[in-house]
Amino acid sequence: MNPENRKLNSPSSSADFIQTVLQLQPRLAVFDCDGTLWSGDAGFGFFDWELTRGLVPVDVIRWARVRYADYLAGKVSEDDMCAEMVTINRGLAEADVMRAAGEFFEEKMTGAFFPEMKDLVLQLQDIGCEVWAVSSTSEWVIQAGMPHFRIPASRILAAAVVVEDGKVTDKVIRVPSGKGKPQAIRDVIVRTPDAVFGNSIWDADMLEIARHPFVINPTSELSAIAGERKWPVYYPDPVISL
């Protein structure tokens, strides 16, 4: 880790970081997932995994590949792309999608956990803190991952659609990204988080509402915001994303 990447007054080791958070004795903590609890983007990972394995119809696969290229080119919004990564499953049995998400997560993501972030989540729960996961990745993927962090499905706010008669629809319930993250917190949790943890520009609005924001392994955009607002920044030890 380049020392120049560490921000003034930010914790310099995993033990310091965890202790800094625990000393605040937060009663409610909210974590982003991709890039914050683990390295890599499980949302895109599962999207690509589904397409590669032909879990959705061929015409949907062709459309989705073009659509993602348009997203990378800036022609599709973040919210729309995150929603469409879920709605491509319309018509499929939710049980099948959940099973696929579980297989994907165990195969591709469990080796990418930031150990100190997992330790922090577990230690927070051990002291009685209520911990939530808020993510723009599909709730099937996040639900597959959260047992590793002892976070129940009832404390997950992720990209979700209506399920009717066991089948996935394209009726979007929520896509917690950008301003959608604090909105989901206000709508469902209905309390101000004591601590929030995020890594990207899409977490900035959620970090803003926290009593204690913590920036984890930030993208360049969020790093700039953290510097302006003097938010503490922590860089987990690197892991190899599978």
* Residue 11: band (very low, low, confident or very high) from pLDDT cuts 50, 70, 90: low
Given this model, what pLDDT does residue 128 score?
Answer: 97
- On whether the CB atoms of residues 26 and 129 are closer than 8 A, the answer is yes
pLDDT band at residue 5, thresholds of 50, 70 and 90? very low
Task: For the full predicted model, state whether its pTM sits above 0.85.
Answer: yes
Superfamily (CATH) of domain 13-234: HAD superfamily/HAD-like (3.40.50.1000)
The answer to whether residue 1 scores a pLDDT higher than 90 is no
Comparing 1-10, 45-54, 74-83, the range with the smallest average pLDDT is 1-10
Going edge to edge, which strands form the sheet with 233-234? 167-174, 156-164, 130-138, 28-31, 195-198, 212-216, 233-234
Which amino acid type is present at position 138? S
- pLDDT of res. 239: 62
The alpha-helical segments, DSSP class H, found in the chain are 14-22, 42-52, 58-72, 78-87, 94-108, 115-126, 139-145, 180-184, 204-209, 220-229
Q: Extract the tokens encoding 26.
A: 């937060």
If you average pLDDT over residues 111-134, what whole number do you get? Answer: 97
